[in-house]
Amino acid sequence: MLAAGVPAVMARQGAGCAVASVAVVKIVMATDMKSITGTRDHSYSVKWVKNGSDVILLILRGQSKQRLLFTSSGSDCRLLSILQRRRKKKEKMRPKIYIFGDSITEESFGGGGWGALLAHHFSRTADVVLRGYSGYNTRWALKVLDKVFPAADGSDDAPLVITIFFGANDACLPDRCSAFQHVPLHEYKQNLHSIISTFKKRWPETQILLISPPPIDEDARLKFPYVENPMGMPERTNEAAGAYAKACVSVAVECGFPVVDLWTKMQRFPDWGKACLRDGLHLTQGGNRIVFDEVIMKLRDVGLSLESLPVDLPLISDIDPSNPLKSFEN
């Protein structure tokens, strides 16, 4: 009920408003914002809003957020309006595809990079979000996971896909110049499992796609060392990269997720060391194209393609030239 001196207010149906009842809210008219002294039904929320010389009481009722607006000028209380506004269903933003990995991912938004190709491919259906960290291994990736990816907030904004592309740095040899990046093979597998587990707990419906490390051209690595190399020996070998690629494929099989076996795929191409790799490790445009084609194929295999994803807004071909704005009404 209303406090003494505050008239009950009803709206006329002829004015396009439903009859309003505020019996569940007890109000004492006052000038400060803490003027609600009584209890209220759990489905209502109440707050005061200042509007010039008026103090407006805003009552939000239930999930439909029916708004009952009252204004006070001195002791006078009159109904401004009663608006039945069903909360619009939150417009779902474009789904996100996160690409998570080391320098081969970080560089992928450059000209001809596989990430840029992916963003272009899904330009009207999904946002490709880059999370690439040059030099990182799975141990470091696991350490920073919560800083890199948003916490689940209970909404339906889970990523559509996350690609996990680590292993090239884990596979650095423990007795060579990049030993600080080395992660033992058994730990590499455990780290991949932990990264996947974190994502699946956070976003159970998100599709995970693993990508193995690429092959290594050892001669080219000697020409392009990342750090000083007094030993004169490559910090990576193709044999070691192959072992980590095999472990990556094994983890994907164990978890039931698709995987791009890049180490095997690239070596099927003639002169792959020069055709696919620009420095024995990082990708040429041809190498990037292989990654892109493989990712698109694997996503299609699990039902994710341009044909299965809706565009966010009408295509120009769908807009009626005689009434263009009609296409934006829904």
Q: What is the DSSP letter of 290?
A: H
- How far apart CA 233 and CA 324 sit, in angstroms, is 65
Is residue 103 annotated as part of the catalytic site, yes or no?
Answer: yes
- How far apart CA 78 and CA 91 sit, in angstroms, is 35
What pLDDT sits at residue 7? 37
Q: Residue 81 is encoded by which pair of tokens?
A: 């309006």
Among the options 72, 121, 170, 282, which is catalytic?
A: 282
Among the options 103, 108, 178, 212, which is catalytic?
A: 103
Using alpha carbons only, give the angle 148, 89, 51 rounded to the nearest 5 degrees.
95
Is residue 121 annotated as part of the catalytic site, yes or no?
Answer: no
Phi, psi for 30 (deg, rounded to 5): -155, 170
Is residue 175 annotated as part of the catalytic site, yes or no?
Answer: no
- How far apart CA 227 and CA 261 sit, in angstroms, is 28
Q: What is the DSSP letter of 79?
A: E
Phi, psi for 47 (deg, rounded to 5): -155, 155
Alpha-carbon torsion (243, 246, 248, 250), positive or negative: negative
pLDDT tens digits for the chain (330 residues)? Answer: 333 333 333 333 333 333 333 333 333 333 333 333 333 434 445 455 544 554 545 544 444 333 444 444 433 333 333 223 323 344 567 899 999 999 999 999 999 999 999 999 999 999 999 999 999 999 999 999 999 998 876 656 799 999 999 999 999 998 886 789 999 999 999 999 999 999 999 999 999 999 999 999 999 998 876 666 667 678 889 999 999 999 999 999 999 999 999 999 999 999 999 999 999 999 999 999 999 999 999 999 999 999 999 998 999 999 999 999 998 886
- How far apart CA 274 and CA 149 sit, in angstroms, is 35
Q: Residue 261 is encoded by which pair of tokens?
A: 């076996």
Among the options 279, 293, 312, 327, which is catalytic?
A: 279
Direct distance between the N- and C-terminal alpha carbons of the chain, in angstroms, rounded to an integer: 41
